[in-house]
Chain A
Amino acid sequence: MATDLETRPGIDDSGVQLEAATLREMYWQMLRARRTDERAWVLHRQGKIAFHISGIGHEAIQVGAAFALRPGYDYALPYYRDLAFNLAWGYTPHDFMLALFGREGEPTSGARQMPSHWGTRSLNIISQSSPVATQVPQAAGVALAIKLRGEDRVAYTSLGEGSTSQGDFYEGMNWAGVHKLPLICVVENNIYAISVPVHLQMAVPNVADRAPMFGVEGVIVDGNDVLACYRVVKEAAERARSGGGATLIEAKTYRPTPHSSDDDDRTYRPREEVEQWKKRDPLARFQAYLLEAGILDEQAIADYEARAREEIDRAQAAAEAAPFPPPEAALGDVFAPVDETLRAEE
């Protein structure tokens, strides 16, 4: 059954055609990310974990993007706020809990890297770096490799609006324009970079206004509308695959939480602003839409909630039971070993 969302009231005018089952799956991924994220905050308050950086409020653009791409086939270079993107792409709450607790077996780095850096080889997720915007020229390089190999993959990357002040952003996007690369760059514009508001970051009103200077397509989307986000990323992927080059997508959104667990956001923004944005919560909004469209009902929601709780409880318990890595575990993986098959002489 295809659901024509254009005819439905309320949420979306994007004309997305998706199966009801897919819409429910999108909802599930948003909910699962939200509950996983909330658990991380609880664990931090309980003093069980040292650090959390939250993706709450950003789930619509992240889940929309993940569903518009081919997880594990396309390449993803997401940023630290992209928990929902990564979970929808194949990363698990269990992986995340191991990272939060810094335990042995943590799949991205063996607990060497901070949480929310995501790198997962099997899923084509390239590790986020802590310095911001470094992923943009790297994504251009991934896209260049895709192009050189003649593949129909896409390189997807994301960052915050503040991070677009880095030279890396300009250089990477310029490459993407010059070499017409199959790249999608999503800027999750939540109007703050830690404490610094967007007007101290850039003198143009929109990040996407810069697209013409790179010679790439620029798109602005309501980042709290999952279906609109899905649509623009889908279009960008089609553009990339058909040789049309890169797209710079600006998703307008908000971060209702502090920047990270180290931050007190009351120092730099008014509470009323936060409350205003909470009314536009992407999860509540999509849920209301699906209820109205008859795609979800209260029972289904309760079932999803139970499923999320159960999965997150299990992930947390497993992580807490996992041992810490032994000190020697820090020593490996600084250099790759010599590959005997790679030699200049026969």
Chain B
Amino acid sequence: MLSEKHNEKEAEGAVRELTYAEALREAMRQAMEKDDSIFLIGEDIGVYGGAFGVTAGLVDEFGPERVRDTPISEAAIAGSCIGAALTGMRPIGEIQFMDFITLSMEQLVLQAAKLRFMFGGKAKVPFVLRTPGGSGTGAAAQHSETLENWFVHVPGLKVVMPSNAYDAKGLLLSAIYDDNPVIFVEHKLLYKTKAHVPEEMYQIPLSQSHVAREGRDLTVVATSVMVQRALQAAEQLSEEGIEIEVVDPRTLSPLDDRPIIESVIKTGKALVVHEAPTTGGYGGEIVARIAASEAFDYLDAPIRRLAGLDIPIPYNRTLEYHTVPQVENIVEEARKLVRGEY
């Protein structure tokens, strides 16, 4: 496994950068080259390369048998991942927009998550269901959902949300080699973002939270695109002398909460930032973990959440913009917390 200090430029020579979409594609390509049991299914993933281009070109390399365009049937995408996985394959399904994973729910929640348990541990269901969530593309309420917490609430499903290209590759490879169903939530706004991505296959273990930036004044726990926004906010705040620590859980379930708790012990303050609506969102889980831990004794401010408004995502770009946390909202909320305004 490679060092995770991927933000530090490598000493010698040019650093290879890939976009998040390219990193995901490379992970799938490398895994498929090594293992015939891995195959892809989804809508428009063949010649079209997927709605966001993630699988572009893979059908040319692996053929339409292993990169299979399916009917528009999300229940069958999930269900056939389960069937194939139970009998020794390692499918990777794609749900074109996370919104449409609602049509796969029964298969995921009542089947995939529970089969091993129901089989008394004698079965395993190793598949990955990749899907892009999130708003910011002007696609309104039924193409912008951020539904990770629905799956977090289901024991038996792993939920992964990479926030950058480096993590995307390493986490996807871990998800592919994991023997459990993994809901792999990508973000539309991250697909074109670049980071250093090593060419060799590397894994980032699931259930390992990551301190994306160190700071002393406030712990910001953020997921997916909000990690990037929190890091931008951190730059601005740093100019004012406020140093925030940004923790990225990366795997939401099962969660590695130690780095979060330790960070809060250090900073004494915590803010959770996510895109999904506030009520019933993942932030509640993080807040509860902190409040129930020894970090409670170190808190010198209420734990705050900054998340999506409790409304569907609107189409109009101005309305959409104001519906989910932006960099300036994080800056403002962090300032208030650090200045003791709560």
Contacts and interface: CB of A to CB of B under 8 A. Distances in A.
A and B interact physically: yes
Closest 8 CB pairs of A and B: A165-B71, A130-B142, A195-B48, A330-B319, A102-B316, A111-B316, A112-B314, A327-B322
Given A324-B316, A327-B319, A330-B314, 9 more contacts: A103-B316, A112-B316, A114-B139, A131-B99, A166-B72, A194-B43, A196-B44, A325-B316, A330-B319
A79 to B, nearest CB: 13
Interface of B: 43-44, 46-49, 51, 69-73, 75, 99-100, 102-103, 138-143, 309-312, 314-320, 322-323
Contact of A330 (B72, B142, B143, B322): B322
A330 B323 contact: yes
B140 A195 contact: no
A262 B51 CA distance: 9
Contacts of B49: 267
Interface string A152-176: 0000000000110111000000000
Nearest to A324: B318
Contact of B71 (A112, A129, A202, A267): A202
B197 to A, nearest CB: 26
A344 interface: no
Nearest to B314: A112
A257 interface: no
Contacts of B71: 162, 165, 196, 200-202
A163 B312 contact: no
B47 to A, nearest CB: 5
B286 to A, nearest CB: 25
A163 B72 contact: yes
Contacts of A194: 43-44, 48, 51
A200 B43 CA distance: 10
B43 to A, nearest CB: 7
A132 B72 contact: yes
Interface in A102-155: 102-103, 109, 111-115, 129-133
B48 A113 contact: no
A166 B47 contact: no
A214 interface: no
A167 B106 CA distance: 13
A329 interface: yes
The interface centre, meaning the residue of B48, B70, B315 with most chain A CB atoms within 10 A of its CB, is B315
A157 to B, nearest CB: 16
B44 A131 contact: no
Contacts of B311: 330-331, 334
The interface centre, meaning the residue of A102, A115, A193, A201 with most chain B CB atoms within 10 A of its CB, is A102
A42 interface: no
B48 A267 contact: yes
